[in-house]
Amino acid sequence: MFIAILGRQPALGATELERLYGGDRTRWFSDRAMLIESDAFDFNRLGGSLKAGRIILQTNGNWQMISRTVVDRYAKQWYGIPHKITLGISAYGFRISSRDVQKTGLLLKKQLQQCSVSLRLIPNTEPALNTAASHHNKLGLSPHKIELLIVRNTSGRVIIAESIGAQNISALAARDQVRPRTDAFVGMLPPKLARMMVNFTGLPEEFDSSAAESTSRLCILDPFCGTGTVLQEALLNGYSVVGTDLSQKMIDYTTENLAWLRQKFRTTGEVIALQQADATTFQWKPPRAINAVVCETYLGQPFSAPPRLEKLHEVAGNCNHIITTFLRNIHSQLGDAAPLVLAVPAWRDHSGHFTHLPLIKHLADFGYQRIPLHHIHPEQLLYYRENQVVAREILILTKSPSTKSMRY
């Protein structure tokens, strides 16, 4: 069993885990951690989890008790090891200081010194190491670079896990800022959110895991591909892709970015088609079936402050028209089981209240329904930062059973 430490917006990370591993094999442990029962858990595939670890021990107790358990266990386990150990300790859910965590590491280091075992302790500035410290020290990536994830929930239950890695923030930053082409005007979809959205489809990575040919790969369509962020994350996760955009400039940018991606990262999927097209009218006819649609739709104009009510209604109405026209257009072109994962706009006012698109209350009218989730209410699927007015609301949809034969 594994435990995942979720990111800044835990609802998104929890949804990603549920869609990949199932609601019956994932469950909350605390408000920032989730348990996963799977022998095929792949942390590197995720976008919404900061760290993950293999569970070693489940127990109860306060920090003093847990500290003694950790020191006793690992002083015995590492007794006589001939290699130097690099150790980080991260504590979640305890009312302790970074000095308390550091003291536990120093006690263990002292005991190991008595049997001539060398231990390098990563210093804590907070009870839990930040993702950058874990990543840059490569904790969890080798038998001698270890991070202990110690998580306590509100009932006093404690899990001790050995990390299997931290989010690769260097690679995410490169795919966000270092790639050749970006365009702030059309939006800067974060790669980690794009990766989560790809995983929200719930698709397996490929039809045949033993096949090396790209023809075995499932295919994802992004009809609003922009600079290609969704397509790049889909390729990295093993899918083949089709991308279209209203602007030929964006198609040129995507082409350049995906060529860069293939040079810098290992990809196994295939770019089947990239072309200029209007998502509200285009008929997609790729040589391979579309297995899922993942896209950031039109978000309207950016705002540095909440707009006047009249302006908000104008912008929301324009976005609503474009997105509903797209949903009507693509409905008959999709297979019955093909999921759609859409990032649509929602606008936040000074009080934190969100204005949502009208179409969200009328999805059934367009022949769609939300895919049900066990752990999260759909209204929690919002991605935003505190200073942002325009948030991304994530819709995870499929065709409604009663409208699969509808033609618009």
Per-residue pLDDT tens digits for 347-389:
999 899 999 999 999 999 999 999 999 999 999 999 999 889 9
Domain check: are 133 and 91 in the same one?
yes
What is the reported pLDDT for 288?
86
Over residues 153-189, the pLDDT tens digits come to 999 999 999 999 999 999 999 999 999 998 877 768 9
Q: pLDDT tens-digit profile of 42-96?
A: 999 999 999 999 999 999 999 999 999 999 999 999 999 999 999 999 999 999 9
Q: Which residues pair with 53 in a beta bridge?
A: 3, 163
CATH of the domain at 16: 3.30.2130.30
Q: Which helix (H) or strand (E) holds 340?
A: strand 340-348
Q: What is the pLDDT of residues 233-266, one digit of tens each?
A: 999 999 999 999 999 999 999 999 999 999 999 9
CA dist 92 and 25 (Å) reads 22
88, 137 Cβ separation under 8 angstroms: yes
* The domain boundary residue, chosen from 167, 183, 207: 167
Q: Are residues 123 and 181 in the same domain?
A: no
Q: Which of 192-196, 202-206, 306-310 has the lowest mean pLDDT?
A: 202-206
Confidence of residue 214 (pLDDT cuts 50, 70, 90): very low
pLDDT digits (tens, 9 = 90+) for 322-337: 999 999 999 999 999 9
Domain count of the fold of the chain: 2
Q: Which of 121, 150, 167 is the last residue of a domain?
A: 167
Q: Is 161 left (phi over 0), alpha (psi -120 to 50) or beta?
A: beta
The C-alpha atoms of residue 261 and residue 258 are separated, in whole angstroms, by 5
For residue 403, what pLDDT is reported? 55
SS3 338: coil
Do 250 and 385 lie in one domain? The reply is yes
* pLDDT given at position 211: 46
Local confidence band at 210 (pLDDT 50, 70, 90 cut-offs) = very low
Give the pLDDT confidence score for residue 408 in this predicted structure. 35
Pair 231, 148 in one domain: no
Single out the residue in 167, 191, 212 at which a domain terminates: 167
* 14 and 98, same domain (yes or no): yes
- Are both 159 and 177 inside the same structural domain? no
Residue % of the chain over a pLDDT of 70: 95
Domain membership flag for residue 158: yes
Judgement on whether residues 363 and 272 belong to the same structural domain of the protein: yes
Residues 241 and 218 in one domain: yes
Q: Are residues 204 and 73 in the same domain?
A: no
Q: What is the pairing mode between strands 240-245 and 219-222? A: parallel
pLDDT at 206: 57
Q: What confidence tens digit (pLDDT) does each residue in 7-31 have?
A: 999 999 999 999 999 999 999 999 9
Domain that holds residue 62: 2-167
Both 223 and 361 in a single domain? yes
Q: Identity (one letter) of the amino acid at 355?
A: T
